[in-house]
Amino acid sequence: MQASMQRRNRRGFIMMQILLALAAILTLLPVCILGTAALCRQTEFDHQIQDEIALAQLRRMLIIGDCLEISDARLDMEYQGEMRSLQQVNDNLVMKPGTLIFLPRIEDCHFRREGNAVLLSWQRNGIVQERVIAYAP
């Protein structure tokens, strides 16, 4: 009788532990999933910051550059005594001669002048962005 009671009590005790564990799992699982998803998003290649770093480097080259000529899809300039052009080649914004890639995986890009500012606009994943890249009085 006493042994039977003990066994029953023990079974119930284990069941309680399992229920507690399940409750804890169900409570913390969404938190873990959200945290992991956020971590995955964070470690993805961030185009926004990479683009800004590339544009900072491009701005520096354009500061040194001279005789800027702008057409819709192309920018020509004299850089260190040589002619260079900036244009879209396949999916990349490339400085030629050579293959110095500034903006990768873009769908479209245009140059335009607004006052003394030279603006570059590009489209990636359907989102159009525009930045000032040079000052050409």
Partner 1 sequence: MRPDRKGFVSLFFLTVLMLCTAVAGAVLANLCLRAESAENLCRANAYLGQESAVINAVQCSLKNGALEDGDYEAAGTAYTLELTEEGAIVQIRQPLPETLILDFRIEEGILNDYETIRFDDVSTRFSSIH
Residues that bind partner 1 (CB under 8 A): 6, 9-10, 13-14, 17, 20-21, 24, 28, 31-32, 35-36, 38-39, 42-43, 46, 49, 52-53, 56, 59-60, 63-64, 66, 78, 80-81, 134-135, 137
Q: What would the two tokens of residue 61 be?
A: 């080259």
Which is nearer to partner 1, 57 or 108 (by Cβ)? 57
Which is nearer to partner 1, 83 or 89 (by Cβ)? 83
Cβ proximity of 65 and 77 under 8 Å: yes
Residue tagged 């964070």 (tokens): 42
Integer Cα distance of 40 and 106 in angstroms: 23
Integer Cα distance of 86 and 71 in angstroms: 10
Cβ proximity of 33 and 45 under 8 Å: no
Minimum CB separation from partner 1 for residue 90, in Å? 27
Q: Is the peptide bond before 97 cis (omega within 30 degrees of 0)?
A: yes
Which is nearer to partner 1, 21 or 73 (by Cβ)? 21
Minimum CB separation from partner 1 for residue 5, in Å? 12
Which is nearer to partner 1, 98 or 137 (by Cβ)? 137
